[in-house]
Structure 1
């Protein structure tokens, strides 16, 4: 499950970082960039909290 969450988080980061590059190069419209970045933000915010601090919590026990 942790691997799936990391993969989805990575997709979220890609959807957040890549669209501005496409917009800068002229391959995407402003609306498409905003929409893609919104999807990326939601993916990251929904998945990252479940795996990002797990190693620290497990080592405390």
Structure 2
């Protein structure tokens, strides 16, 4: 389960970085950029806290 959470959260993180590069290269419209950024942000913030928790010793 932990591996799946990491994959989904890194996919969300990628959706926050890659669209910005594509807009810079003028390969993606600003409307699509906003959609992908919001979707990536939701994925990242919904999944990353579950596997980034600090473990107790």
Give the aligned length.
57
Q: Which has the larger radius of gyration?
A: 1
- Structure 2: which 5+ residue stretches go unaligned? none
CA RMSD in angstroms comes to: 0.9
Structure 1 spans left out of the alignment, 5+ residues:
none
Q: Which has the higher contact order (CA 8 A, sep 6+)?
A: 2
| Structure with more helix by fraction | 1
Q: Hey, which bits of structure 1, 4+ residues long, moved more than 2 A?
A: none
Q: Which TM-score applies when normalising by structure 1?
A: 0.89
